A and B are shown apart, each in its own frame.
Chain A
Amino acid sequence: MSFGDVQALQDVDLEVPAGRIGLVGANGAGKSTLIKILLGMLNPTGGATEVFGTSAQRHPLAVRSRVGYMPEGDCFPPDQSAADFVSYTAELGGLPSSESRQRASEVLTLVGLAEERFRDLGEFSTGMKQRAKLAQAIVHSPELVLLDEPASGLDPDGREDMLNLINRLGDFGMSVVFSSHVLGDIERTCDWVVMLNEGRLLRNEPLAAIRASNAVQVVLLDDPAPAVAALEARGARVRTADRTLDVEFDTGDPFVAIRDVLAETGVGLRSLGSKQTTLEDVYLAEEEYTL
């Protein structure tokens, strides 16, 4: 996918299961472009996209009738009440008008806007707008919801509420594609991660697989240099940050090897344990690798 000379997405080949999918990447990584391609709003310059087995390029209306979309930016008429607008978007999604008002009311209550639903959208705060955007995305009961940076601009409480709502969408029978550059948000809400960087696919796998690590984290009391040298002599890959070492062996029990090295070198040990890999670690490592 390209815009003029700029390649927004390149060689992205992926398949994701139903569930909560995190779309991770820095600003400009291609997340929004990928979402718009999934909706059939943009046509890729090459390749194909299928949603629920239907081509998003050849049958965009069939795809959109099963998908909800929460855009990153504002998308509201400021002089219309939330209830009127969400009800209208329900009709646009194919619900009869008699049902739409009732649905709008229910969904606005669900996102925490029951009291404010008759206020004009132009009077809403950023947090209220984000909730209203989520309401219009789910009011027509889509099977999949595409959320583009749903927590952006929210204060900590608002972010917490939004992430809780996203977590609940799965319970309502909806799959979610949640785009964010805040890796912690993805870790809290998603069970599958698609990682993009500068339009290229870095990772596409379950969050559990990404977080799984063979590395052992060792925190030492003394100068780590002798221990690092001894570990590397035994074939370990060692990353050092001050007196903290991340040690990884391809074979053998790393704990036994570390115990032996510390005994040999006499370096004091503060703590030892399996390393918890975060998405941030993976993202930074991948980014470093691609550079």
Chain B
Amino acid sequence: MSSEGAIFDLDYRRYEGERTGRAKVRWAIVRDGVRKVLGLRRKARRKVLPWGLIILAVLPAIAIVGFQVFTQGLGADELLEDLIPGHADYFGFTYQLTFLFIALATPELLIPDRVSNVLTVYASRPLTLLDYLLARVGSLLMVVLAFTLIPQIVLYLGGAVLSGDLVGHLTGNLDLLWKIPTGSLAVFATQAGVAFIISAYARRRGIAAGIYIGFTIISGGVAFGLAETVNRWFAIIDLQAHASVLIAEIFGQENIAEGTALTEQGISSWVSIIAVVAIAAAASVLLYRRYRKLM
């Protein structure tokens, strides 16, 4: 040990290392959005709703796998096969939860930054408005994909393990590898646009979530009524029906969309695809115009 010592006052240390590019900055905003939505690095009460919904979405999948384990040796596999929901059915089951999750997550991504004037900080950093908005959409996409995929993965892996032929199950269900993410993407695409627009104007998170939930539910009822009485094409304003139609199309299970205004009126699934793309495009333009005035 040296007898001589020195105390250094490091004071302010300039950063002389390399600077990251805009891609990394965007990724930082995506990560920040994910943390906001999930309440990570926030107080415990901020975690209750998002994690409560996630648990509600995953628990049935775990229960289904558990039920399969329990009934495996009973020799009633063929009888139970019809009772146990598949991946497409599970999308139908979690769809309402996903809808609630989007209703809670989207205001969290946009409103606090605007109301607390954090946008000023973003505007002073080397990033564009488009970087910010794309990253926020990316955050929602990530959490919604995770929300819909995790229970599907539980089902998929549970089925693979229970089949006793892991490789055989995986290769025999390769189509699920694209169907499950595409189904999640379809749910996101049908819901996110409207949710973002409402959050871009509302000043309180609870109000934004309420308006979004109300709008979506009412649009379904109105679509049904108007399609029956005025013109069948009014069915296209039922947002939730588009998601059901798209999931039914992706999984090739028409029963998932049965009873919706769109199927009742015999409207093609192509119309749903066009409607979803049009809603997303209109929402993007409105969102950009709204934020161009703010940043």
Q: Contact residues of A with B, CB < 8 Å?
A: 39, 41, 61-62, 64-65, 67-69, 71, 73-81, 84, 88-89, 91-97, 99, 103, 106-107, 110, 120, 136, 138, 140-141, 168, 171-173
Once the chains bind, are A64 and B11 in contact (CB under 8 Å)?
no
> Which segment, of B22-30, B211-219, B227-235, B267-275, faces chain A?
B22-30
CA gap between A69 and B43 in the complex, in Å: 29
Restricting to B196-236, which residues have a CB under 8 Å from any CB of A?
Answer: none
> B13 contacts which chain A residues (CB < 8 A)?
106
The answer on a CB contact under 8 Å between A172 and B14 is yes
Given A73-B117, A81-B41, A92-B28: A141 touches B15 (CB 8 Å cut-off) = yes
Question: In the complex, are the beta carbons of A80 and B41 less than 8 A apart?
Answer: yes
Please list the residues of chain B having a beta carbon within 8 angstroms of any beta carbon in chain A.
10-22, 24-25, 28-29, 32, 41-43, 46, 112-113, 116-118, 120-128, 295
Given A89-B121, A106-B12, A172-B12: A65 touches B19 (CB 8 Å cut-off): yes
Task: Give 18 CB contacts A-B under 8 Å.
Answer: A61-B128, A64-B124, A65-B126, A69-B124, A71-B121, A74-B116, A75-B117, A75-B120, A77-B118, A78-B116, A80-B41, A92-B127, A94-B20, A94-B126, A95-B19, A96-B17, A168-B12, A173-B14
- Report the minimum CB–CB distance from A210 to chain B (whole Å): 29
The B interface, classified by DSSP as helix, strand, loop or mixed, is loop
In Å, the complex CA distance between A94 and B128 comes to 13
B116 vs chain A, min Cβ distance (A) = 5
Cα–Cα distance between A65 and B126 once the two chains are bound (Å): 5
- Tell me the interface secondary structure of chain A in the complex: mixed
| Minimum Cβ distance to chain B for residue A288 (Å) | 35
**B42–A79 contact, CB under 8 A?**
yes
Residues of B within 8 A of A140 (CB): 15
Residues from chain A with Cβ under 8 Å of B113 in the complex: 77
Query: Which residues does chain B contribute within 8 Å of A172, judged by CB atoms?
Result: 11-12, 14
- Known interface pairs A81-B41, A92-B29, A94-B126; A103-B15 also in contact (CB < 8 Å): yes
Cross-chain contact B112 with A77 (CB below 8 angstroms): yes
Contacts A41-B295, A64-B126, A93-B126 given; 19 further ones with Cβ under 8 A? A39-B124, A62-B126, A64-B125, A65-B126, A68-B124, A73-B117, A74-B116, A75-B116, A79-B46, A80-B41, A92-B122, A94-B20, A95-B15, A95-B17, A99-B17, A106-B10, A106-B12, A107-B12, A138-B12
**A106 contacts which chain B residues (CB < 8 A)?**
10, 12-13
When C-beta atoms are compared, the residue in chain B nearest to A41 turns out to be B123
Decide: A136 and B121 in contact? CB cutoff 8 A. yes
